[in-house]
Amino acid sequence: MTRIVPGPDIVKRSSQAPLIFFAAGIIGLGVLALVFGDFVEVGQTVPAWIPGRTILAYASGVVMVLGGIGLLSARTSGLSVRILLPFLIIGFLVQAPTLVVPPFAEVSWESIGEIALLVSGMWVLFATRSGLGQGSRFAFAIGERGLRIARITFGLWLIPIGISHFAYLQNTVSLVPAWLPFRKGWAYLGGAGHIAAGLGVLFSVVPRLAAAMEAGMLAVFTVLVWLPRIAATPMGGRGLWTEFVVSWTITAAAWVMADGFAASAPSPDHPV
């Protein structure tokens, strides 16, 4: 039987809140690039000898700020996702060499995993909002096929993020608020939660719930870990603000992912 997909008006209404939060995060990343004159997240992997490196960093900030603003308007959201998805994929590819130099360093897998989550969230928007038709050369990246690619990316890269909690247990424990009991237990739970959510989405085991719980877990982490630090030391510098904005944005990306399952689900009155 035919899968019934909600019309564009339903998708827009259901996606408004996660879209706004995701756009705000992208704008925030762009602002950081403009304020500090350096690439966000991939700064350490862009060699200093590249000609015009600072100019490129500022340009990346402009792309993210304007692209994020564009996501907020129905008139410009299609153009924005068509620009931002390749932009984020380039960021992913720039970071990719760190997976082998040095080899098997878990911190590199965690860092590139965060970028992959941003890519997957943007891919959901690209699949549903790019405005491209099935006759486009990028037809493989839209509709249900595009959503499938986004979900595989999301599920796969959550796993190394979860593993990093165990590989760097003491660092993870240090981030758990001191007032919480059993801090090591929370660290283990967080790592297991990321892995479970990734596997749930990857193998379609209650995938919408898995993505929603991942978004909720990341939101709690953002609020309990990074927000108090920002409030305590608002002039804490680039590193602190980067951690906060990245945490915000990957939380929103997970929310977009969960919402993507809702938008593509069949109507109760028209089962698959």
**Which residue, among 197, 122, 126, has the nearest Cα to 157 in the 3D structure?**
197
Read off φ and ψ for residue 100, nearest 5 degrees.
-115, -10
Close Cβ partners of 6 (under 8 Å, ≥ 6 residues apart):
14, 263, 267
Contact 92, 41 (CB under 8 A): no
Q: Exposed, middle or buried: residue 35 (CB in 10 Å: 0-12, 13-18, 19+)?
A: exposed
For the chain, which ranges sit under pLDDT 70?
1-14, 41-45, 47, 49, 102-104, 106, 263-272
pLDDT attached to residue 235: 83
5/24 Cα distance (integer angstroms): 28
**Which residue, among 48, 91, 36, 66, has the nearest Cα to 240 in the 3D structure?**
36
**Domain spans in the chain, listed from the N-terminal domain onward:** 8-264
pLDDT attached to residue 104: 65
Angle between helix 143-167 and helix 238-264 axes, rounded to 10 deg: 140
**Which residue, among 103, 91, 100, has the nearest Cα to 41 in the 3D structure?**
91
